[in-house]
Amino acid sequence: MFILFGEKAHATELATGQFGCPLCQQSTTYTHHQVQPYFTVFGINLAKLNICSDYVVCHLCASCYNPQIIVEPEQHSLAVDKAVILRALCYLLSGYGDTKQARVRLIELYQRHTNIQIGSHDIDTEMAVITGGTAPTLPFLKGATLNLSPKAKQDIVLACYQFAQGSCLMEHQDRVRINTIASSIDISLPEVTYLINQQ
């Protein structure tokens, strides 16, 4: 006799409402989602596990935020920093190949630079926006530049460099990708070199 057990995640829409999106910079609609995994036996849900993802999605630009953004709008600048770094890393993920190892590296780098843990579902949401073609990444980065803190700009460049370095042997085209992202957020090439050399 054998027993089939596993884990299944269910996404639930908890609420919708209006909020001021930090990236759109206008009042728009959001949806609050929560992903709840379950322990299963023969595909039947037996026990709830810890919630693995809890986020708010803007209906206008599809950016994801911590639900705290609804009750603490003063955290908007921090939310912008975190949304932009995730978009930049997912942009590189789409270019280098969306593999399990690359996702693990992306999650680790994001947590190292933001102190926030994300899951594969958060990456799926960003990848859908990037591959959907409705919000090109480089104009998105350029539009968010004025709202980024100087530290966030440095973190974006370093995280992107670390992701690229872990994905391949750094060649000219890889440095061009990093420099393109950096120039989109108003970081000069000498600054990029300086940041990378300080690691």
Q: What is the DSSP letter of 46?
A: E
State how far the alpha carbon of 123 is from the alpha carbons of 16, 43, 63, 113, 147, in Å: 21, 25, 11, 16, 22
Q: DSSP characters for 126-186? A: HHHHHHHTSS-HHHHHHHHGGGS-HHHHHHHHHHHHHHHHHHS---HHHHHHHHHHHHHTT
Strand partners, 10: 36
What is the per-residue pLDDT for 49?
A: 67
What is the Rg, in whole angstroms, of the alpha carbon atoms belonging to the chain? 18
SS3 22: coil
What is the per-residue pLDDT for 199?
A: 72
- Give me the residue spans of the domains in the chain: 5-197
| Residue 145: closest CA among 131, 127, 158, 157 | 157
Whether 56 and 32 have beta carbons less than 8 Å apart is answered as yes
What is the per-residue pLDDT for 76?
A: 60
What is the per-residue pLDDT for 1?
A: 62
CB atoms within 10 A of CB 151: 10
C-alpha span between 31 and 25 (Å, rounded): 17
What is the per-residue pLDDT for 79?
A: 66
pLDDT by 10-residue block (mean), the chain, 199 residues = 71 82 79 80 71 76 74 64 86 87 90 84 85 80 79 87 82 86 88 82
What is the per-residue pLDDT for 73?
A: 63
> The tokens of 82 are what?
């975190």
For the whole model, what pTM was predicted? 0.63
